[in-house]
Structure 1
Amino acid sequence: MSTGPVHGTWEPRPAARWEDAFLSGNGRHGVLVFGDPNDDRTIVTHHTLVRPGEGDDGGRRPPLLADQLPGLQDRLLSGDLTAAEDFTDGRPLQWVRPFHPAFQLRVRRPDGGDRAPGGYRRTLDFATGVAEAAHGRWTSRVFVSRADDVIVQHLTGPGLTLDISLDHRLPNAPTGLSVGHGAVLTPEGALLSLRARYPGSDLAVTGVTLVAVGGGRTALAPPGARIEGARSVLLLTRVRRHTGEADVVAESRALRDLLDETTGTSYDDLLARHAAAHRTAYERVTLDLAADPDERALPGSELLTRPRSAALLERLFAAGRYHLLSSSGLFPPRLTGLWTGDWDTAWSGAFTHDANLNLQTASAAAAALPEVTEALAALVRSQLPDWRDNARAVFGTRGAVAPAHSDGESGHSYHFSREYPLHLWTAGADWLLKPLVDHDETRGGRDPDTAAALAEVALFYEDFLTRTDSGGQLAVVPSYSPENRPANASWGAVNAAMDLSAARHALRTAAAYHPEHAERRRALADRLPPHRINADGALAEWAWPGLDDSYDHRHLSHLYGVWPLDEINPYDTPELAAAAHRALELRGAENDSAHGHLHHALIAARLRDGERVAHALGRVLDGDFFHASLMSAHYPHRHVYNADAAHTLPAVLIEALVQSTPGRLVLLPAPLAEYPSGGLRGIRTRFGASLDLTWTPDGATAVLRPTRTHRIDLWTSAGAEPLDLVAGEDRVLTVKTR
């Protein structure tokens, strides 16, 4: 009987669909594990695997539009509501390079194995990242090592007879893919390789698997190897994308060296090295909702049929942190995290910066996952030169402008059309840098790379914010509110609320990081116009007079000042907070996307509306958004594999229970009535303290462990009071709710 939250999940049958395969990853390599004892498939992915395409020889550059910008600004400011529709260089819409899987590692039992229906179980341990399948005395364990950057699969059983191969045949693989296989015997057993060259390109993907056999005999069985009578088989796999010929010999030598470095049982040694890093990160934060122990013991697929179960929410919280950690390393998570089983990945499996990536990484600072923040910072660092190109080409300025989409290779802004003029959007860099600023506040230091990026964004605004309205206030022109349009105008407009909030925040934050420029940048921020409240009493999506709101939309870009920023809140700006709340009430769900619902929930939590948080969360829990893998979909009924819901859900629960700024702590701002008791442990605050929270229907207790000495404001349902914190001295806070 379970006595606490379950830090894993299980199923009583193999995965029939790749969407239901259990996931493991180290932020570089990823795997989707089916767990079939007679035809075991493990799909291999890697963050760098994006398919080249037309336009790679220069067509993926930002459009050279800076010379046309003054004319566009004149037309928009004079009232031409469609002026931005021809602000392009005429090229057709072009998506970023699509993310794709590498191949599947197949392990077949030619004798059919044990086909008895009973006794099968596959499990995923969140604390170790091990996906295990067991049937009788046969077991297969798979994980992706954070320590050694290798995919490890260990098969055991009496007298194992197995056919092992690397198979490129996955859904929608291009017909022109040029594939070559290699298989040689080695002292350990065998070395298998697969090289797939993209159609019309000299780029290729090469995978190498070292097969180490314990007992038995190994023979070549092209394109793979056959193992007979073994007691164990250890498979070590790596994949990489490259030009020219891959050095398979060098890669195999590296895998052999890795094997030689292990002591005792190689699998156990490899797992111990990996788990030391992975377990430490995963176990930093836990959520306990006092769930029914019998429900905690259920397989994930059955638990998903009980959408209001506390055990389900506990497991989804744990799975969300696990998947977020596992997909973050070289890069942060893509739209599909680190995983896909299909070459035709929706929306190219991109890093989408106008909501999706930002939502997925929302919990990184509070949920104690600096690994996620570091992965996001790595993406920013690698692409900052391209962001400079965007600023120069489109706007004729210094500084940096982030694109709305990226494939991980390019940070250039070239994805635009009449309905999606994403090259007009200037707020992206501020949103991408916000988690890095939060991380700095949490740890009490300023990262020099974050400081440098903020300075670049401030330079852009210094050059770009030169036009004014009739009253002398600055105007953001052109301006775009992803991915919406005014009801009475085209998509490109003036003074989108998000752009105003982002410009103010970027300039003021850069001023804090760079005091030598603080006065000039704060003065520029102060010249931006305030937000507008429309005739419905709602915060308007465009502050420019005469632009009418379009309420039924999945994005909530105009409420960027509420979340993730702290610009609009019930404590300092109650009138604007009330207008933002009215805007939230009027917002429709449009196409019922998961990211829209959870974005709504995050904003509602900041506005202390627990009922609205619960309703938005319920739309996702009731909507059949989660696969048996506990990875999510973009739309209800598990339509379109997508990580938004899986990775964002932990942030929603944390924000409902605890919120912090450098000077404020809010306890139980938006509690969920359906879960009256529980505990949230290990949370990091932006004022430099860890926090453990427990609550019951009568009240709550919080234990703060500060690392800095200063005064903050403590907010509860009873109001505010000052709280003095001393570094190294724990504080116990008691809150009565009755």
Structure 2
Amino acid sequence: MNKSKIWFDRPADRWEEAIPIGNGTLGGMVFGKVDIERIQLNEDSLWYGGPMDRNNPDALEHLNEIRELVFAGRIREAEGLAARVLIGVPDGQRHYEPVGDLYLDSGLSDANVEAYRRELDLEQGIVRVTYSADRATYLREFFSSYPDQVMAVRLTSSLQGSLSFSMLFGRGSVLEPTPWSDILKHPVGFHAYLDRIGTNAQGDMIIRGRSGGEGGIRFCCAIRMVVEGGRLVDTGRQLRVEQADAATILVAACTDFRVSKEDMEAECVRRLDRAAAKSYEQLRADHISDYRSLIGRVELSLQGNDAVHSLSELPTDLRLERIRAGSEDPDLVGLYFQFGRYLLISSSRPGSLPANLQGIWNKDMLPIWDSKYTININTQMNYWPAESCNLSECHGPLFDFIERLRVRGRETAEVMYGCRGFVAHHNSDIWADTAPQDVCITSTFWTMGAAWLCLHLWDHYEYGRDVEFLRQAYGTMKDAALFLLDFLVEDPQDQLVTCPSSSPENRYVLPNGESGALCYGPSMDSQIIRELFGHCIKSSEILQEDLEFAETLRKALERVPQPAIGKYGQIQEWSIDYEELEPGHRHISHLFALHPGTQIAMKTTPELAVAARTTLERRLKHGGGHTGWSRAWILNMWARLEEAELAHDNLMELLRSSTLPNLFCDHPPFQIDGNFGGTAGIAEMLLQSHSGEIHLLPALPGAWPHGRVRGLKARGGFEVDIEWRDGRLLSGTIRAVRQGSCAVSYQGKTIELAFSEPGLPIRVEANHWKV
């Protein structure tokens, strides 16, 4: 049996049990119902409304007044004024929307079904549903093809001529378990958010609709049924297949965000024509080939001490229940790791938008937190595994998005702050909106979103060492740095700090007992600035250009605060060592310098590393890590501190407390960043490269005594394979993309390797570090 499968012995009763498929733009959630199958559909560019100019023209006039109030300690007045003049107008951005739902009515009853199985094959990127009923064995296959830009659903039966079902599309408030007959009798609510539904001359079902709001995005979805044997009947609102041997359903969708509204239907039909010109076998093979070119780069095998290393014969939800009961299951951890990579492949491909708060899988017309881009941690976390887990192409949509933020962010920087460069706050949407979002004192006025995102550009360079990419990215990084140079002000200690700002999304307690959030110089801001300025300086040196600007940044860095240690031995969160209103807050922003930053490291800053450990202990002692993404961040931080058992404990807690039956991360509710953070954290436990060397097995826990990993990436342009047994390294194999050298460390000792030609592997074993 293929162990790389997430599987269940029953259909999904709720959306959080369905299985996701996607090709970057077109996503689906497969329920696997026998009687009425449901595939819930999303297209990544279907968002509510159109672009807005939300920059507040009153902001600049009052900026200095707000700063004076903050520096004077008159926080309540500063926050009151900011809530009036520093917000976006209007204060809210746009939200993501679903396309609709595709329903297939088989006419079968669940009571007659035997041998049911629903699975996601992670080696092929295909969802399958199999069952037996009325002497026939039925198979359904589902995948979303990147090469052909269609979703494919294949239905077959072991008995010739026994396949009959009806297909209906809906977009509205009517959901299962509403009886099919009731939907057909009362279709108005079912089609509440559609403009038109019908068939074209070829017999394709054509669905048209729009998002709300003035200038709202329009969409088109086209569905073609290819029937083998039997016949296809168009009844107006539905297509019916009768007595067929097999049927293939092809789905294409697009919006006028990318295609003119006049051409949307033609574009969808063109995709269907191209896909239908292939046999199903060829369509499937092309999908598998494309998908395997990405998923197959990394293999991970984790084995425990038990004689039974794999529990793959158990349904995945039962394996999760075992973990919640205290059992170990290293093989499920490996499955979870690859599922995270699968989700990134499925939600972020060249040409798509970046993965949002829910990837591309959203069922709600008004989703939680708008299902948009939250850029004070969540969007960034979505891309933590992109480089280390060998999916650098999947990083591309984020880079495209940053360039659009750069355009909008220049307007916001000039209008609201009188600064050069570009800025983005803590949220954005499909239109790359950069004005402040909401009226929330703990997050709205934070101006570091663009700067943090630009660090992903440097990461991509660091992992691949593509100088031409760096040459293109440098201007964007410089623009983010320019804004900060202009925005920084002197604090009472003559340091350069941001003001106003906040430490996302925590509050402090003033000596008089009042709580506040608005502040100057929160630790996270200074840490991001130090990271960005340092990368700009390095880029200037590598490219041998803009050296004068690099010198300006060096001088500014001399006055940007370093991480400080507070009264509890913790990394100080604010410029003043305040008490925290919530010591167990979900955000741990002041440990940015530990992860994903590089300013706190075990070897180079041991005192700060100890303080970081104290910070994590305090957060967890007071209930921190209670959301999925927060637990994933903590996992990565413990891995950076080389605390193998604590990293493993938090990984298991992520699975126990913040993982839904289909392995989606539960904030709660569903938010995909915890999946990506968890996958990156597992990689971080096995390989690190942030401190100038390749560190093998830095946080290997006792629960994984035996294992191997192939294809992880390390900074400097290296690919690494590792194998271990009885908790100790057996061997590591390192390949370089270019000639050069690197330092490799294991258990506190370091060796130097030199690579004479690209791609030539060098194998190291444990005895290489023996003195």
CA distance in structure 2 between the partners assigned to 1:113 and 1:484 by the alignment: 52
**Among residues 375, 382, 407, which one is paired with 2:397 in the alignment?**
375
Counterpart of 1:99 in 2: which secondary structure? coil
Return 341-350 or 676-685, whichever deviates more: 341-350
Cα 1:60/1:127, change in 2 over 3 Å = farther
In 2, the alpha carbon distance for the partners of 1:568 and 1:504 equals: 12
Check the 8 A contact 2:222/2:269 in 1, yes or no: no
Q: Which AA in structure 1 matches 2:764? A: L
Do the aligned residues in 2 keep the contact of 1:365 with 1:435 (CA within 8 Å)?
A: no
Asked whether the 8 Å contact 1:531–1:539 carries over to 2, the reply is yes
* Corresponding residue number in structure 2 for 1:714: 744
Q: CA deviation at 1:77?
A: 2.1
Distance in 1 of aligned mates of 2:103 and 2:309? 37
Aligned-pair distance for 1:183? 2.4
Indicate yes or no: 2:95 matched with 1:98: yes
Equivalent residue, structure 2, for 1:146:
146
Q: What is the SS of the residue equivalent to 2:763?
A: strand
Identify the residue that residue 664 of structure 1 maps to in structure 2: 693
Matched, 1:163 2:194: no
Partner of residue 485, structure 1: 507
Quick check: 165-174 or 588-597, which moved more? 165-174
Identify which of 104, 127, 130 aligns with 2:126.
130
> What is the Cα deviation at residue 531 of structure 1?
2.2
Amino acid at match of 2:693: R
Q: Name the SS of the counterpart of 2:386 in structure 1.
A: coil
Task: Tell me, yes or no, if structure 1 residue 270 matches structure 2 residue 283.
Answer: yes
**1:539 & 1:648 partners in 2: Cα distance?**
22
> In the aligned structure 2, how far is the partner of 1:670 from the partner of 1:201?
53
Deviation at 1:348, TM superposition (A): 0.9
| 1:210 aligned onto 2:207 | no
Match of 1:344 among 366, 371, 376: 366
1:309 is matched with 329
Q: Kindly provide the amino acid, as one letter, of the partner of residue 601 in structure 2.
A: N
Q: Residue 593 of structure 1 contacts residue 634 of structure 1 at CA under 8 Å; is this kept in 2?
A: yes
Alignment check: 8 A CA contact 1:124 1:130 kept: yes
Distance 1:171 1:401, change over 3 A: farther
Out of 623, 632, 636, the residue aligned to residue 665 of structure 2 is: 632
Does 2:709 match 1:702?
A: no
Q: Which residue of 1 aligns with 2:316?
A: 300
Q: 1:64 to 1:298 in 2, by over 3 A?
A: farther
Structure 2, unaligned runs of 5 or more:
176-188
Residue number in structure 2 paired with 1:518: 550
What is the DSSP-based 3-state SS (H/G/I as helix, E as strand, rest coil) of the residue aligned with 2:245? strand
Contact 1:185 1:191 in 2 (8 A): yes
Deviation at 1:178, TM superposition (A): 4.6
Give 1:408 shift: 1.9
Larger mean Cα displacement after TM superposition, 682-691 or 544-553: 544-553
- Structure 1 pair 66–727 and aligned structure 2 pair: CA distance change class (3 A): farther
Tell whether the 8 Å contact from 1:171 to 1:342 is kept in structure 2 after alignment. Answer: no
1:442 and 2:436 equivalent?
no
Contact 1:663 1:711 in 2 (8 A): no
Match of 2:434 among 400, 407, 412: 412
The 5 Å alignment of 1:3-42 reads 6-42=3-39
Q: Does 2:293 match 1:280?
A: yes
Aligned to 2:71: 77
Number of residue-to-residue matches in the alignment? 718
1:474 corresponds to which residue?
A: 496
Q: In structure 2, what residue type is equivalent to 1:647?
A: F
Give the structure 2 partner of residue 604 of structure 1. Answer: 638
Alignment pair present for 1:463 and 2:496: no
User: Is 1:230 aligned to residue 250 of structure 2?
Assistant: no
8 Å contact from structure 1 (residues 478, 493) kept in 2: yes
* TM-score under structure 1 length normalisation: 0.92
* Partner Cα distance (2:533, 2:105) in 1: 59
1:118 CA displacement: 1.2
Question: SS at 1:69's partner residue?
Answer: helix
Instruction: In structure 1, give the amino acid aligned to 2:172.
Output: R
Pairs within 5 Å for 1:528-677: 528-544=560-576, 550-588=582-620, 589-590=623-624, 592-623=626-657, 625-635=658-668, 640-661=669-690, 663-677=692-706
Could you say if the C-alpha distance between residues 115 and 258 of structure 1 is closer, same or farther in structure 2, counting changes exceeding 3 Å? Answer: farther
CA distance in structure 1 between the partners assigned to 2:53 and 2:83 by the alignment:
14
**Pick from 501, 524, 531: which aligns with 1:498?**
524
CA displacement at 1:731 relative to structure 2: 2.3
What is the alpha-carbon distance in structure 1 between the residues aligned to residue 12 and residue 57 of structure 2? 45
- Which is worse superposed, 22-31 or 376-385? 376-385
In the other structure, the counterpart of 2:81 is: 86
Question: Relative to 1, partners in 2 of residues 1:44 and 1:535: Cα closer, same or farther, differing over 3 Å?
Answer: same
Moved more, 19-28 or 226-235: 226-235
* CA distance 1:415–1:253, change in 2 (3 Å): closer
- 1:550-590 deviation line (CA, Å, top 9, x unaligned): 52200010010111111111111112222222112211444
Q: Which whole-Å CA distance do the structure 2 matches of 1:508 and 1:252 have between them? A: 46
CA distance in 1 between partners of 2:580 and 2:234 (Å)? 70
Q: Which amino acid aligns with 1:312?
A: L
**Shift in CA distance, 114/669, structure 1 to aligned 2, threshold 3 Å:** closer
- The answer to which of 609-618 and 56-65 deviates more is 56-65
- Is 2:449 aligned against 1:452? no
Residue 689 in structure 1 maps to residue 718 in structure 2? yes
Distance 2:362 2:321 in 1: 25
Q: Output the CA distance in 1 between the equivalents of 2:115 and 2:607.
A: 61
Shift of 1:617: 1.7
Change (3 A) 1:283 1:521: same
Answer yes or no: is 1:429 the counterpart of 2:450: yes
Matched position secondary structure for 1:661? coil
Q: Say which SS state the counterpart of residue 387 (structure 2) adopts.
A: coil
The more displaced of 11-20 and 202-211 is 202-211
Q: Distance in 2 between matches of 1:666 and 1:507?
A: 26
Question: CA 1:200–1:441 in structure 2 vs 1: closer, same or farther (change >3 Å)?
Answer: closer
AA at the equivalent of 2:329 = S
Supply the AA of the counterpart residue of 2:665: S
Aligned to 2:766: 735
- How far apart are 1:662 and its partner, in Å? 7.2
Contact preservation (8 Å) 1:37, 1:138: no
Contact 1:287-1:681 at 8 Å conserved across structures? yes
Q: Quick one: structure 1 residues 603 and 64, their matched pair in 2 at CA, closer, same or farther if it must change by over 3 Å?
A: farther
For 1:119 and 1:310, how far apart are their aligned partners in 2? 27
- Aligned partner of residue 587 in structure 1, secondary structure: helix
Matched position secondary structure for 1:304: helix
Q: CA deviation at 1:723?
A: 4.2
Give 1:117's aligned residue: 113
Give the aligned partner of residue 302 of structure 2: 289
3-state DSSP class of the match of 1:375?
A: helix
Q: How many angstroms does 1:356 deviate by?
A: 1.3
Partners of 2:706 and 2:727 within 8 A in 1 = no
- CA-to-aligned-CA distance 1:63-105 (integer Å, 9 cap, x gap): 6412211222222223323323421445688443221211111
Alpha-carbon distance between aligned partners in 1 of 2:699 and 2:493, rounded to the nearest angstrom: 40
Measured in 1, the distance between the counterparts of 2:640 and 2:659 equals: 26
* Percent identity of paired positions between Structure 1 and Structure 2: 26
> Secondary structure of the equivalent of 1:74?
helix
Change (3 A) 1:256 1:709: closer
| Structure 2 residue 421 is matched with structure 1 residue 399 | yes
Matched to 2:476, the amino acid is A
Question: Is the 1:373–1:436 contact (alpha carbons within 8 Å) kept by the matching residues of 2?
Answer: no
Aligned letter for 1:479?
S
